[in-house]
Amino acid sequence: MLEGILSKNLLSSLSQNFDKLSHAYLFVSPDEVYNFMYAKYLSLILLCEKKTGCQECSNCMKVLAKTNSDLNIYPNGKSVLVEDIESIIEKSQEKPMFGDKKIFIVKSIDNATFQAQNKLLKTLEEPPKNVIFLLTATNENKILPTIISRVRKEYLQKLDKTLIEQLITNPPEIFKDVIPANRKYIPNELKQAVNSGDGYPGKTLEFLNSSTFLTMFSTAQDIATKFMLSKELSSYSEKVVKFKDEIKLFLSLLQNVFEELLKTSNNKEGYCHIILQINKSNLELDRNVNINLIIDNLLMKILEIKYNYKI
């Protein structure tokens, strides 16, 4: 099951020339949790005695038990700070303890300050021997171009939905930090969450963790398929504003619902306009514009586009 996570490119470069690995990688996808899972699983393979991520050899067991000091995960707090980079530089000078490599996973490097990124850059320019850096990011535009030019960049592909369902219902030990074990899911809810998660495990988990997910889902579907009259606007608006603590999650769900409709529709232009409007509302939320106003405007636009394009 686990092999399905890594890209075919990376798998083939791992099997062909293990010794010619890059000293630094950057994994990019919109899903922070997925990025981390990818880097963590790759670390397991790189540190494994058999180079397969067997989960049985002593190095793998240490990774699973979090006692393998050849694997270092940053940041310690919420985002990467200069102190984290200083600690990385110091530790990267030490020899590997158990195997032939030391791995540094640096999560969400795009959220690090430029000062911290600059400090890391110096290490990437003159990488210590036997050290591999695995950086992750959701927005590569926030990374110094000089860092990007020093790493092998890989855009992570969406995962197969069946694989995500397997990972969530039967989480491998390597992902115990991110996927809760022994949790029972309502089958319908799981199915909807996997579908709405759209190939991203973190997003899927976010839906499953939301207590109002199913209500959100049916509201989004109603807006997409039933909402036709301007006199219904205020009642829909009221329903949506109830999700105000999870409004970003709701908008992403609404977007998925329209994207699904787009796939099967002959009238693609209208749906594209609606999806653009949802994106616009998302940006407005980032700027802290009044939430009621944003939702009212969005619903009004959706209605207008539906009318103009007869969808």
Q: Which residues bind Zn ion (CB under 5 A)?
A: 48, 54, 57, 60
Give the nearest distance from C-beta 304 to Zn ion in angstroms.
Answer: 58
For Zn ion, the closer of residues 99 and 202 by Cβ is: 99
Give the nearest distance from C-beta 70 to Zn ion in angstroms.
Answer: 13
For Zn ion, the closer of residues 176 and 183 by Cβ is: 176
DSSP string, 237-269: HHHHHTTGGGHHHHHHHHHHHHHHHHHH-S-HH
- For residue 133, what is the DSSP state? E
Q: Which ranges of 112-160 does DSSP label H, i.e. alpha helix?
A: 114-125, 145-148
Give the nearest distance from C-beta 50 to Zn ion in angstroms.
Answer: 5
DSSP string, 158-172: PPPHHHHHHHHHS--
For Zn ion, the closer of residues 59 and 210 by Cβ is: 59
At a CB cut-off of 8 Å and minimum separation 6, what does 248 contact? 282, 285
For Zn ion, the closer of residues 19 and 126 by Cβ is: 19
Q: Shortest CA distance to 120 belongs to which of 148, 161, 159? A: 148
Give the nearest distance from C-beta 45 to Zn ion in angstroms.
Answer: 8
CB 59, CB 47: distance < 8 Å? yes
For Zn ion, the closer of residues 2 and 233 by Cβ is: 2
Helix (H) or strand (E) segment spanning residue 49: none
Helix (H) or strand (E) segment spanning residue 74: strand 71-74
Give the nearest distance from C-beta 99 to Zn ion in angstroms.
Answer: 10
Q: Shortest CA distance to 205 belongs to which of 174, 179, 243? A: 179
For Zn ion, the closer of residues 45 and 135 by Cβ is: 45
Longest CA span, the chain: 69
Give the nearest distance from C-beta 228 to Zn ion in angstroms.
Answer: 58
Give the nearest distance from C-beta 184 to Zn ion in angstroms.
Answer: 31
Residue 202's identity, in one-letter code, is G
For Zn ion, the closer of residues 100 and 269 by Cβ is: 100
Q: How far, in Å, CA of 311 to CA of 295, rounded?
A: 20
Give the nearest distance from C-beta 281 to Zn ion in angstroms.
Answer: 47
For Zn ion, the closer of residues 64 and 89 by Cβ is: 64
Q: How far, in Å, CA of 278 to CA of 257, rounded?
A: 11
Residue 16's identity, in one-letter code, is Q
Residue 250's identity, in one-letter code, is F
Buried b (16+ CB within 10 A) or exposed e, 221-234: bebbeebeeeeebe
